[in-house]
Structure 1
Amino acid sequence: MIKVLVVDDEGWNRELIKTFGEWQSYGMEIVGEAEGGNEALRLAGTLEPDIVITDMRMPGTDGVMLMNALHREYPDIKIIVISGYDDFKYAQSALRNGAVDYLLKPVDPRELNAVLDKCRMELMEIRAEQERYTLDIDITWSLSNHKQLMKVHFNELNVDSVNSVLGNVTEELKLGGIQSPGMLRQAASEMLLLLKELLRGNGLEDAQLKTEIPNAVLATPESLECWLRELYGGSLEQLIGQRRFKNKLNLEDVRQYICGHYAEAVTLEGLSRVFFVSKEYLSKVFKLEYGINVTDFILQLRMDKAKQWLEGGNIPIKTVAELAGYEDVGYFYRVFKKHFGIAPGEMRKQSEGLKMSNAEG
């Protein structure tokens, strides 16, 4: 609800404003009343109103002083000024200090409600902009695991698993209370960017991908899921069609695919699905061509990359493990030591020692 504070030293004027305003129609409620500027400032700090309706002539802190203070301390508050004096100086001062409008007593109900509606529209626009452009790190965090799974299932052309991930995204958004249009827009944008990344990674153009997010899609997490299913489903059909109608298996394509996706959960089964051949056939011809089986090729690639990162910089070992495709750091340590005969930390120390020796020499 939009919160309104009414300020006037005369009680009957406050009652007229309360009576004339179509508060419920505009999603507003009067949260407080004040007889003067000092009391109004105190209530503004505790009640946090969105709109202040104030008289100009009051004992003590008058309307001008109140507006100056509100403008300085609470610049987002919308101010509507009401005065019994048809004085241009008051109107000029009110508008200079950011008043939305200046109304004369006796208040015309139509004019009052027109100004209230104007305030409502401005506040709704501000809130929509804030929701649209304020990135919520919790949303990104909530989607992170699902996005990793999506990469694997999409690249393996697994339609059922892709839809399952989208269903899980919906449940995650609902459980996290991520259901406002602004929040859903961020989630939609992140999943859309992921799809563009997946298309480009698979050598497909993304020019025909819908980049505008319809407002109807942002109504509920379920409506967002339906839209994403359509986008991801259509893109998968395009990719499946491209792969299926290739004349024969190109082993260089397989090798390049592994080199581009080694940090993901690449498996022989997944590769066979991607290239529309049996696991047995792919394993056999790959080893004949490169002298190493698929699983060992993936392991060798990961270990070589990990060794480069360990020797080449100060990247934390945990990050190196993740970059090489290992979420479990303990498992990465065991695989690395088995492959090279020393632990990752020892290899880094040896590399640093060698660099120091070369520098001294």
Structure 2
Amino acid sequence: MHKVLLVDDEGWNRDIVRTFGAWEALGLEIAGEAEDGQEALRLVGELTPQIIITDMRMPGTDGVMLMNELHARFPEIKVIVISGYDDFKYAQSAIRYGAMDYLLKPIDPAELNAVLGKCVKELEDAFSIPGDYALDLGVSFSLAQHKQLMKVHFNELNCEEVSSVLDAVSKELEQAGIGKPGALRQAAGEMLLLLKELMHGNGLEDNGLAAELPQEVLQSGSSMIVFLKGIYTAGLEQLIGQRKFKNKLNLDEVRQYIDAHFAEAVTLEALARAFFVSKEYLSKVFKLEYGCNVTDYILHLRMEKAKAWLAEESIPIKTVAELSGYEDVGYFYRVFKKHYGIAPGEMRKQGSGLKMSNPKG
């Protein structure tokens, strides 16, 4: 049985969801209920649900803030949004944080059960594990930070750091006492899905990458890491071959790479290494083509994205900072004010003319 957590500040709304859901038929059970996002996050740690059904407008920690935290800390949880407000901004936030669907009140039982069925199918397809085994959110939590680092190092073609991340994954799983075959399969599956995402994001085919995990891989954490190192190395070799053996540097590809990864720790040095040129050469030709250096381009792009997100009042300024690539909110405030001459909160109050533009002009 997959666990479901209901989140809504109105008890009667939770009653309706509980009544309309075909829980037993879908192999689901309601494990708990919460009245706001803060309580929901506490219950996630206690109950380890696989599906969360949440309202958006709640006192305190609302649905947007809840989804932001879930997206960062528990990306494997399936989220269904139910709201009484036909509000495009809420729908945008739901989509941005990977919601399975956005349903409006009054709830249609058929629509609710259809999306619940979709959640169940994705959960079962993602980790096809023999016997009874529920997804272990402890595994996902242990991997979350390492997966973020892996994205950066893989895209920078940093083979040594990719290997180091996988070693850190092994150590993390060992310290957490995660050694059962089911948990190892989940960990391997999540890292495989990440590799597929990274390859597709770089225009590479995964060629049926590890459609099935060999049983011997799941005998121990060390054997799993050896297996993952092998396939990550193969993926990196494909990406290196794609970039290294082109006739000349393609600045459009460099710009597209920055546009896709602006919220990460993108530096001139890392870009130069990733595209097999010197940082001096890359800096020179980039400025000739786009009229600004790489650092200024990234800063302008981050600020334009932040400016647009500030127009959506449902997104907390802290979340805007994180989406724009700033973990330190205080630093984000200083950079934003220096760039625009006005603090983020003041710009939000003004509320007009917030529109993204192309940094090139």
TM-score (norm 1): 0.60
1:102-121 counterparts in 2 under 5 A?
A: none
1:208–1:316: structure 2 CA closer, same or farther, 3 Å change rule? same
By how many angstroms is 1:244 displaced? 0.7
Question: Could you say what the CA RMSD is over the residues aligned between the two structures, in angstroms?
Answer: 1.7
Moved over 6 A (4+): none
Contact 1:317-1:344 at 8 Å conserved across structures? yes
1:352–1:293: structure 2 CA closer, same or farther, 3 Å change rule? closer
- The number of equivalent residue pairs is 226
Contact 2:244-2:276 at 8 Å conserved across structures? yes
Three-state SS of the structure 1 residue aligned to 2:306 is helix
Equivalent in the alignment of 1:319: 319
Equivalent in the alignment of 1:332: 332
Distance 1:353 1:196 in 2: 39
Question: Where does the alignment leave 5 or more consecutive residues of structure 1 unmatched?
Answer: 1-126, 355-361
Distance 1:211 1:325 in 2: 34
For residues 198-219 of structure 1, give each alpha carbon's deviation from its aligned partner in whole angstroms, at most 9, with x where no partner exists. Answer: 0011110112411211221111
Distance 1:307 1:230 in 2: 42
By how many angstroms is 1:313 displaced? 4.1
Contact 2:313-2:348 at 8 Å conserved across structures? no
Equivalent in the alignment of 1:342: 342
Three-state SS of the structure 2 residue aligned to 1:312 is coil
For residues 28-81 of structure 1, give each alpha carbon's deviation from its aligned partner in whole angstroms, at most 9, with x where no partner exists. Answer: xxxxxxxxxxxxxxxxxxxxxxxxxxxxxxxxxxxxxxxxxxxxxxxxxxxxxx
By how many angstroms is 1:264 displaced? 1.2
Equivalent in the alignment of 1:192: 192
Three-state SS of the structure 1 residue aligned to 2:249 is coil
Distance 2:283 2:181 in 1: 48
1:75-90 counterparts in 2 under 5 A?
A: none
2:197 partner letter = E
1:274-313 counterparts in 2 under 5 A?
A: 274-313=274-313
Contact 1:286-1:292 at 8 Å conserved across structures? yes
Contact 2:287-2:294 at 8 Å conserved across structures? yes
1:338–1:160: structure 2 CA closer, same or farther, 3 Å change rule? same
Distance 2:295 2:194 in 1: 27
Equivalent in the alignment of 2:152: 152
1:271 paired with 2:262, answer: no
Question: Where does the alignment leave 5 or more consecutive residues of structure 2 unmatched?
Answer: 1-128, 355-361
User: Sequence identity, in percent?
Assistant: 68
Distance 1:199 1:310 in 2: 32
Contact 1:310-1:344 at 8 Å conserved across structures? yes
Contact 2:216-2:223 at 8 Å conserved across structures? yes
Contact 1:192-1:211 at 8 Å conserved across structures? no
Distance 1:332 1:129 in 2: 48
1:147-186 counterparts in 2 under 5 A?
A: 147-186=147-186
1:182 partner letter = G
By how many angstroms is 1:326 displaced? 1.5
TM-score (norm 2): 0.60
Equivalent in the alignment of 2:206: 206
By how many angstroms is 1:336 displaced? 1.3
Structure that is richer in helix per residue = 1
Equivalent in the alignment of 1:248: 248
Greater Rg by CA: 1
